Amino acid sequence: MEDLGFLFKLEKQGKLKLVEPSEEIMESYLVKANNSLKSAKVLLESSLYEDSVSMSYYVMYNSLIALLYKIGIKCENHSASIILLKVLFSEEVLYKEIHFAKEERIDKQYYLTGKDTFHVNNDLTEEMMESAEDFMIEMKLLIEKVGKDKINDYREKFSKIMKDTPKKLRYERRPGEIIKLLRKAYIERRKVKIQYYSLSSDQVRWRVVSIYQIGESFITAYCDLRDGERIFVIDRINAVAKLDEGYQIPRDWSSESIVNDK
């Protein structure tokens, strides 16, 4: 359900939508996938393991985008594109493979430390590259199976998912309702559960937070997940639910040393 809520909000923002199916754009992304595979191999041969892992992910991602354009779906978010592989195409195994590859790409590209480098070796990088190549082959097979009738079926299924999602999800709210619930919870000193999209990790997670300060575009809150105070951009809160649990703002609290949870 959380995944569907994320897709629904992206559609409302115009970042996920139906477009005309395009063989030309599909082919261009398959070319990108093949080029990414060539780059991954060159980087592996040069012992640039972290870069090779990242490029292997793009083999998968570009081939997935090719499939989406075959259907006529434009998605501007990596996580959402991957979610569609599960909810629209029912490819649970392939979803897990590219989701894992995406996490590896983020870890190696953004959170690499000297200690982590020890774990990234030739064998693991080669295994990732082989998985990416297998994934690309599976995407090409899926693309070949998608005829005109299948395209229409997938487009209708996508439209139905977007239409039915607001009815199914307990937490989903319109932007105006989100800010109202946040303000009410702040006044009543009640914790809230928010579904938040982080730009830095490109992930959507549920957080339980206690709001210490609320502005027009952000909230300052104590995050149970991070065990500390954070700043959350309201526009990236997909859903919110007010909880029964109360809280108190510390008397000596100050907003000077808050971490912006990007």
CATH 1.20.120.330 fits 2-168, yes or no: yes
Distance between CA atoms of residues 247 and 262, nearest Å: 24
pLDDT bucket at 112, cuts 50 / 70 / 90: very low
Across the range 166-182, mean pLDDT stands at 71
pLDDT at 124: 86
Closest Cα to residue 106, out of 158, 54, 145? 54
Query: Can you say whether residue 118 is alpha, beta or left, with left for phi > 0 and alpha for psi between -120 and 50 degrees?
Result: alpha
Decide whether 2-168 matches 175-260 in CATH topology. Answer: no
Q: What number of CA atoms fall less than 13 Å from residue 223's CA on the CB side?
A: 19
Domain layout of the chain by residue ranges: 2-168, 175-260
Q: List pLDDT tens digits, range 207-254.
A: 999 999 999 899 999 999 888 899 999 999 988 988 878 999 998 887
The pLDDT of residue 167 is above 60: no
Residue 206 and residue 156 in contact, taking contact as beta carbons nearer than 8 Å: no
pLDDT at 109: 54
Give 175-260's CATH code, choosing from 3.30.70.890, 2.30.30.100, 4.10.520.10, 3.40.640.10: 2.30.30.100
Across the range 88-92, mean pLDDT stands at 93
Distance between CA atoms of residues 43 and 155, nearest Å: 38
Q: What DSSP assignment string belongs to 34-82?
A: HHHHHHHHHHHHTT-HHHHHHHHHHHHHHHHHHHHHHHTEEE--HHHHH
Distance between CA atoms of residues 62 and 94, nearest Å: 14
Closest Cα to residue 73, out of 159, 202, 166? 159
Distance between CA atoms of residues 79 and 42, nearest Å: 27
pLDDT at 7: 87
Query: For residue 197, how far is the Cα from the chain centroid?
Result: 8
Strands 73-75 and 228-233: unpaired
Most confident residue range from 47-56, 64-73, 197-206: 64-73
Three-class SS state of 252: coil
